[in-house]
């Protein structure tokens, strides 16, 4: 998130006595996407890291692994989820980086 905050354009607005920064892209959507990339990555594929790239017109987050055979893109958009890395999911839920299963993509699309 520090990388994103450093490299994404932001503007500032002064309200009464404080400045409020507004980022060009919603940080909550970036956080959710990064959490999904970590939680759903196929760690059996070695030698390749999760990639996070910021361009002038987009952000690309690449995390290796195919969709589970029980899911397709339409299912994911509807809120259906499959858990690939149960321990990571448990830790992320305990430290409140994720709230519940199957809500991330829907939340990102609503922002």
Domains, the chain, ordered by start: 26-110 (3.30.565.60)
Q: What are phi and psi of 88, to 5 degrees?
A: -65, -45
Q: What confidence score (pLDDT) does residue 83 get?
A: 77
Regions of the chain where pLDDT drops below 70: 100-107, 109-111
Q: What confidence score (pLDDT) does residue 54 get?
A: 92
Question: Which residues touch 5 (CB under 8 Å, ≥6 apart)?
Answer: 23, 27
Buried b (16+ CB within 10 A) or exposed e, 4-21: beeeeeeeeeeeeeeeee
The answer to whether the pTM exceeds 0.85 is: no
Measuring CA to CA, how many Å separate 47 from each of 53, 59, 80? 18, 22, 29
Dist CA 22 CA 13 (whole Å): 8
Q: What confidence score (pLDDT) does residue 50 get?
A: 92
Q: What confidence score (pLDDT) does residue 103 get?
A: 62
Q: What confidence score (pLDDT) does residue 13 get?
A: 86
């Amino acid at each position: 998130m520090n990388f994103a905050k450093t490299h994404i354009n932001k503007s500032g607005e002064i309200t009464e006595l404080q400045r409020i920064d507004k980022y060009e892209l919603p940080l909550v959507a970036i956080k959710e996407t990064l959490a999904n990339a970590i939680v759903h990555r196929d760690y059996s594929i070695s030698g390749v890291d999760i990639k996070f790239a910021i361009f002038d017109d987009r952000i690309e987050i690449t995390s290796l692994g195919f969709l589970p055979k029980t899911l397709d893109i339409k299912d994911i958009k509807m809120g259906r989820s499959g858990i690939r890395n149960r321990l990571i999911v448990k830790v992320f839920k305990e430290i409140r980086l994720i709230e519940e299963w199957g809500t991330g993509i829907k939340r990102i699309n609503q922002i």
